[in-house]
């Protein structure tokens, strides 16, 4: 993704900064209330599978991160990329899965692109899409770059969200999980015309077949595993959806990890924003001081924390529940 500017460590609203301590106390009090009043994650019980009996499982999510990273660099068209495709598919067996495959012409030649969509139906008319890219950078394909935070963390998060959605009747919108491909730019640090291939193709396809009109929200996850988690307030994202994410974080007592910094981010939400879909990017674009680990071989699992996956996973699911209830 591309960042236009970083406004430094300032709060997005002085009002929020002033009240943040009070909010923390209020959220702590709210979190202490009995289940049901604070919007906790639903408990899923499946016969004989004790690993699926709790809420968002950050240990399992972290295991997924490590397993994706273990395949090595996963640039477009590589054997490793295919292994990760198969890995994601293997986790979605029995789910309603759609593949969106196409070939894209780039300055580096023709390359295959493979979007994967898992669909979990709801009772309400409309779709919430939660997305993450899973490819790693083409220019870094011959290095040891594995994108543990950039691509693997969010893709693992979606796999764990799939565990939470599977086998339930959603009393709300349908949720589609999208592992999109070819997000990364073909040149570093960023080159607009040769990036976001997967979502640009899908947004056009969904515009043509009418899906776009049914989309109530597009929630993007990117670089969400950093142990020092500070999700940016993105000025490109839809303001009311950003507000809803912050309210979700507050309800769960996680608001200190959200929106302490304002950024303007071009990312996979762009083609959906351009088509009028309410969209938000959950991204922490300060990965190490001055973002030093971003797009380097230092983007490794030792910089990540299961707690960060849990925070973003639970806030995402809480946001979905708030969207379900939105008039
Ligand atoms: Zn990247």
Ligand 1 centroid vs 222 CA: distance in angstroms?
8
Q: Give the pLDDT confidence of 267-313 residue by residue, as tens digits.
A: 999 999 999 999 999 999 999 999 999 999 999 999 999 999 999 99
pLDDT greater than 70 at residue 37? no
Query: Residues 78-114, buried b or exposed e (16+ Cβ, 10 A)?
Result: bebbeebbebbbebbeeeeeeebeeebebeeeebbbb
Q: How far is the CA of 198 from the centre of ligand 1 (A)?
A: 14
* 111, 104 Cβ separation under 8 angstroms: yes
pLDDT band at residue 232 under the 50/70/90 scheme: very high
- Using one digit for the tens of pLDDT, what is the confidence trace for 83-142? 999 999 999 999 999 999 999 999 999 999 999 999 999 999 999 999 999 999 999 999
Which tokens sit at 151?
Answer: 């691509």
How far is ligand 1, taken at its centre, from the CA of residue 24, in Å? 32
Mean pLDDT (the chain, rounded): 88
For residue 229, give both structure tokens.
């988690």
The span from the CA of 312 to the CA of 307, in Å, is 9
The C-alpha atoms of residue 85 and residue 179 are separated, in whole angstroms, by 9
Cα of 225 to ligand 1 centre, how many Å?
13
* DSSP secondary structure string for all residues of 139-170: TTTTTT---IIIIIIHHHHHHHHHHHHTT--E
Q: Tell how far the Cα of 134 is from the centroid of ligand 1, in angstroms.
A: 10
Q: How far is the CA of 118 from the centre of ligand 1 (A)?
A: 23
Q: What is the pLDDT of residue 4?
A: 63
CB 274 within 8 A of CB 214: no
What pLDDT is stored for residue 223 in this prediction?
98
pLDDT band at 2 (very low <50, low <70, confident <90, very high): confident
State in Å: Cα 128 to ligand 1 middle.
24
* Distance, CA of 30 to chain centre: 26
Distance 214 CA to ligand 1 centre (A): 29
Q: Count of CB atoms within 10 A of residue 284's CB? A: 24
The structure's pTM equals 0.86
Q: Which two tokens stand for residue 109?
A: 């030649």
CA of residue 151 to ligand 1 center, whole Å: 7
What is the 32 CA–ligand 1 centroid distance (Å)?
A: 38
Cβ burial 298-324 (10 Å sphere, 16+ → b, else e): bbbbebbbbebbbbbbbbbbbbbbbbb
User: How many Å lie between the centroid of ligand 1 and the Cα of residue 305?
Assistant: 19
Q: Determine contact, residues 199/296, Cβ cutoff 8 Å.
A: no
CA of 38 to the centre of ligand 1 (A): 35
Give the pLDDT confidence of 151-195 residue by residue, as tens digits. Answer: 999 999 999 999 999 999 899 999 999 999 999 999 998 899 999
User: What band does 19 get if pLDDT is binned at 50, 70 and 90?
Assistant: very low
17 pLDDT above the threshold of 80: no
| 66-76 per-position pLDDT tens digit | 999 999 999 99
Tell me the CA–centroid distance for residue 30 and ligand 1, in Å. Answer: 36
- Kindly give the distance from the C-alpha atom of residue 191 to the centroid of ligand 1, in angstroms, as a whole number: 12
Domains delineated in the chain:
2-325 (3.40.630.10)
pLDDT tens digits for 196-220?
Answer: 999 999 999 999 999 999 999 999 9
264-269 mean pLDDT: 96
Checking if the pLDDT of 34 tops 80, the result is: no
Gap from CA of 1 to ligand 1 centroid (Å): 6
């Amino acid at each position: 993704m591309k960042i236009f500017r970083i406004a430094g460590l300032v709060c997005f609203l002085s009002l929020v900064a002033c009240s943040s301590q009070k909010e923390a106390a209020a959220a702590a009090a709210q979190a202490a209330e009995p289940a049901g009043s604070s919007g906790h994650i639903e408990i899923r019980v499946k016969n004989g599978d004790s690993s699926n009996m709790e809420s968002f499982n950050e240990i399992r999510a972290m295991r997924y991160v490590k397993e994706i990273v273990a395949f090595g660099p996963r640039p477009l068209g590589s054997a490793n990329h295919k292994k990760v495709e198969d890995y994601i598919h293997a986790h979605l067996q029995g789910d309603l899965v759609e593949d969106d495959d196409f070939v894209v012409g780039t300055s580096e030649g023709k390359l295959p692109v493979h979007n994967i969509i898992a669909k979990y139906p709801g009772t309400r008319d409309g779709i919430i899409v939660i997305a993450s890219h899973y490819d790693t950078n083409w220019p870094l394909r011959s290095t040891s770059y594995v994108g543990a935070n950039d691509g693997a963390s969010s893709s693992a998060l979606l796999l764990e969200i799939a565990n939470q959605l599977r086998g339930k009747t959603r009393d709300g919108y349908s949720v589609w999980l999208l592992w999109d491909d070819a997000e990364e730019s073909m040149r570093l640090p960023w080159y607009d015309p040769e990036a976001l291939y997967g979502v640009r193709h899908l947004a056009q396809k969904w515009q043509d077949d009418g899906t776009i009109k049914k989309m109530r929200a597009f929630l993007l996850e990117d670089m969400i595993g950093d142990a020092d988690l500070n999700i940016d307030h993105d000025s490109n994202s839809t303001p009311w959806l950003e507000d809803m994410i912050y309210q979700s974080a507050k309800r769960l007592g996680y608001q200190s990890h959200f929106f302490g910094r304002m950024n303007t981010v071009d990312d996979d939400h762009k083609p959906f924003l351009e088509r009028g879909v309410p969209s938000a990017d959950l991204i922490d674009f300060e990965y190490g001081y001055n973002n030093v680990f971003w797009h380097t071989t230092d983007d490794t699992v030792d910089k990540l924390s299961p707690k960060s996956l849990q925070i973003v996973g639970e806030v995402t699911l809480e946001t979905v529940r708030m969207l379900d209830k939105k008039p």
